Structure 1
């Protein structure tokens, strides 16, 4: 099976960025491409056997990675817990998923501080709908820090 030549630049770019892929032809002009981080390459083999179970494993692994990163970056300050997340370089929706997952782990009055490549517009909409207080500090390099307080 040979994929379309127009897809090759994308496959090469994603490989350089640390992703493995699986390309499947679904129809005469219909392709399915699955990308996973190279550290989760076994997911692609598991996908052939049981797609739903493989997806559940990938989501669980991501949650464990997020918990570990958050716990490493958390600190206690004047009785409240603060989790710092560096979301720079992550592809959407990972920054939002990591941030919302960290907020779930906190108690009232605790804080999550995130550093993103840019102002996270969709996350801001979600924070507004959830009723979280936040402030945004745009940085000189174009990135943004968002301070979110769990209410």
Structure 2
């Protein structure tokens, strides 16, 4: 099999199962491949070049182990962006951000126990808007994830703190979220709408829930909300990524900001 820098590790393992032990023996970073659960999580998302960077070794070391198993190399250039130094200074956006505006998700334990953290990560990513950032704590640089999110308009910064501890920051440099000007109402107008739905209101407080449970709870309630009724939600903040999901479901929303960490939402099914 011919391999290149963009060849997935899963393709190499499928072509010759003996490559599992060959790669795992390069250094301790790749010993996870001996675990079937971790192998399923990592191999399908990591390319040949990604693996070399994650393991802190050269591509030449990979070729040296794999060539005796019948693999041949196809010379390609690594994307220059992948050579970015992890010792770079934090971007101004992160340096000026208040600590409470940085959401944190630690997936080290998930990786260690063989649980795939991808869905939890994507749920956390949905909480990112143009006023905050997500700090992903991992045991390696999540290059495939970064590539996926770059295509969706996210920017990243990676800090390698130790061989087993990597901090990856993700944020929206240029947010493309629909403006909320048409959903924020004056207090009196919002209260008038609430009064109009008197007797036809459901109440839901999601302030105590950890992400992504607030969105899940709200969408769950809307599944059984009849036309002509409304859902009154008390939230910690304006749920930016909920808005397009409401639009998909034919729902309208009005927003009343109560304080720094309390927002009232009135969600209703439009006729």
Per the normalisation by structure 1, the TM-score is: 0.47
Higher helix share: 1
